[in-house]
Amino acid sequence: MKPIAIACDHAALNLKAELMKHLDEKGIEYVDYGTYENKSCNYPDYAEKVCNAIAEGKSELGILVCGTGIGMSMAANKCKGIRAACCTDTFSARFTRLHNDANVLCMGERVIGAGLACDIMDIFISTPFEGGRHQTRVDMVMALEQKRK
Ligand code: RB5
């Protein structure tokens, strides 16, 4: 597996640190695209960095964390080839991989604790896409990118 691309804004520095510690403990490689300090910053900049890493083939999966996870998911879903899912529970994390082939997981430091976030991330990383009828639907979702006016 290619290294996971991970980033946060200033609101989720602690959560990103917990997630990276968890990845270290599991021996899963990642690249940290920032932010690296508490200074207020703009989450779309960091969403774009992770999405670019996926578009360039450096990573297959990305993790984006901010205060709610919502801003990051909105920004990521504007990037070509990205299917970002904002998750607050393990069921959604599992099924967004199985059915949606989500390639970016978004979570909010102000919403969930680090323990749950690590469980969600583990499931997201380890669950494969089911394909089959879901491939058709994912293809339809991606075709919407071309239909935009
Ligand atoms: C930053 O205050 C906050 O707006 C951001 O982290 C995120 O929650 C946006 O969706």
The model's pLDDT over 7-29, given as tens digits with 9 standing for 90+, comes to 999 999 999 999 999 999 999 99
- Look over the chain and give the mean of its residue pLDDT values, rounded to a whole number: 97
Domain ranges of the chain: 4-147
Phi then psi dihedrals of residue 144, to 5 deg: -60, -30
**pLDDT for residue 38 is more than 70:** yes
> Within 56-104, where are the H helices?
70-76, 90-98
Each residue's pLDDT tens digit, 97-122:
999 999 999 999 999 999 999 999 99
d(CA 31, CA 50) in angstroms, rounded, equals 9
Q: Say if residues 18 and 30 touch (Cβ distance below 8 Å).
A: no
**pLDDT for residue 125 is more than 90:** yes
With bands split at pLDDT 50, 70 and 90, how would you rate the model's confidence at 147?
Answer: confident
CATH C-level class of 4-147:
alpha beta
Atom of ligand 1 nearest to the CA of 108: 8
Query: Is there an atom of ligand 1 within 6 Å of 69 CB?
Result: no
* Annotated catalytic residue 99: yes
Query: Is there an atom of ligand 1 within 6 Å of 70 CB?
Result: yes
- The model carries a pTM of 0.98
